[in-house]
């Protein structure tokens, strides 16, 4: 029996584990694939508070885990087959056994698209990025390509416009989804009904092979490619029949990351957040952890950890 089981070991889950374990709660973190999340695949991070210089996402994640483990959190790597969170005691069924806890935090992140663009995975971190806020500064004065079809892609392109010398915005559809019209962005060329066929380059990005609306195939040269295609969904499949979700599958949480089901909490990209950043996910995890402490000890208010 654990005090809390945290499902997901990314920045949200590991931050939660740091706080719950440090608060003397018996903590178990279950993670199916520790180094395949968005943070682990990030090649360079230079804007995480307190971390000087450039770190890889994997290095930062390993630091989170060591810190949580030092406070007593347990980590296991296994596949979860089912959960039962409606009763007072929460049960997690895995390929390696059944685990129980008084509370559970879902920090399962989001699931990417089913299909990647050829070359995208191979060149991720070598010119391919999924975060303009994280990596835009690395492309100061250089040409980049944005591939996207949503409001999120538009916001990321706006962030890139502060750095890149030129942006070519490829939209596979006839229009952006959820946006009335394409705004004016400095140095941006819009290409609608343009399909990306392949991200090309040997050791780093050299460009994107495209097919235009007229059927012409050619290569657009660029030093960086930022991919923001629709398809990323919150990883809430395990709980969709037990915990209230909104129409897109995000957990419905209050300001303390609590769901309407007692003892069930969420953190990170399982909730509808306006900004997808590791520091935001980590903050969510800290809040959820302190809310779990409040729940288990039946306190009337959250007690922050000062030392």
Tell whether 98 and 138 lie within a shared domain: no
Tell whether 285 and 192 lie within a shared domain: no
Any alpha helices (H) in the chain, and if so which ranges? 11-22, 57-70, 132-135, 151-160, 278-296
In angstroms, the Cα distances linking 251 to 210, 261, 263, 295 are: 37, 11, 14, 18
Q: Cβ(187)–Cβ(165) under 8 Å?
A: yes
- The parent domain of residue 180 ranges over 128-228
Residue 214 lies in a domain: yes
Tell whether 29 and 99 lie within a shared domain: yes
Tens of pLDDT, residue by residue over 215-237, are 999 999 999 999 988 666 788 98
Residue 248 lies in a domain: yes
Tens of pLDDT, residue by residue over 142-198, are 999 999 887 778 888 888 999 999 999 999 988 877 666 777 888 999 999 999 999
Q: Find the Cα–Cα–Cα–Cα dihedral 206, 211, 215, 219, rounded to 10°.
A: 0
Tens of pLDDT, residue by residue over 13-31, are 999 999 999 999 999 999 9
Look at residue 276 in the predicted model and tell me its pLDDT.
76
Q: Cβ(98)–Cβ(28) under 8 Å?
A: no
Tell whether 224 and 237 lie within a shared domain: no
Q: What is the domain count for the chain?
A: 2
Tell whether 221 and 237 lie within a shared domain: no
pLDDT at 307 over 60: no
Residue 265 lies in a domain: yes
Look at residue 40 in the predicted model and tell me its pLDDT.
65
Tell whether 249 and 169 lie within a shared domain: no
Packing angle of the helix pair 278-296, 57-70 (nearest 10 deg): 20
Which residue shows structure tokens 């609608």?
192
Share above pLDDT 70 across residues of the chain, in percent, rounded to a whole number: 93
């Amino acid at each position: 029996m654990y005090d809390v089981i945290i499902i997901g070991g990314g920045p949200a889950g590991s931050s939660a584990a740091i706080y719950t374990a440090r608060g003397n709660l018996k903590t178990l973190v279950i993670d199916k694939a520790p180094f395949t999340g968005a943070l682990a695949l990030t090649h360079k991070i230079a804007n995480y508070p307190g971390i000087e210089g450039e770190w890889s996402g994997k290095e930062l994640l390993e630091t989170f885990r060591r810190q949580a483990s030092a406070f007593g959190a347990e980590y296991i790597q296994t596949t979860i087959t089912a959960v039962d969170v409606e009763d007072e005691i929460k049960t997690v069924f895995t390929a390696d056994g059944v685990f129980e806890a008084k509370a559970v935090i879902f920090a399962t992140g989001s699931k990417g698209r089913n299909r990647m663009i050829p070359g995208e995975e191979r060149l991720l971190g070598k010119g391919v990025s999924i975060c303009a806020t994280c990596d835009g500064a690395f492309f100061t004065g250089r040409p980049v390509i944005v591939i996207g079809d949503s409001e999120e892609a538009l916001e990321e392109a706006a962030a890139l416009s502060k750095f890149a010398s030129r942006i070519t915005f490829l939209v596979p559809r006839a229009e952006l989804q959820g946006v009335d019209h394409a705004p004016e962005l400095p140095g941006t060329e819009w290409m609608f009904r343009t399909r990306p066929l392949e991200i090309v380059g040997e050791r780093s990005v050299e460009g994107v092979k495209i097919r235009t609306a007229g059927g012409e195939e050619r290569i657009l040269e660029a030093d960086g490619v930022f991919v923001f295609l629709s398809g990323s969904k919150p990883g809430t499949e395990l709980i969709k029949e037990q915990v209230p979700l909104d129409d897109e599958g995000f957990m419905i949480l209050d300001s303390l990351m609590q769901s309407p089901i007692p003892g069930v909490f969420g953190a990170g990209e399982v909730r509808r957040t306006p900004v997808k950043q590791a520091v935001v996910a980590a903050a969510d995890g800290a809040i959820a952890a302190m809310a779990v402490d409040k729940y288990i000890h039946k306190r009337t208010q959250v007690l922050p950890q000062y030392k």
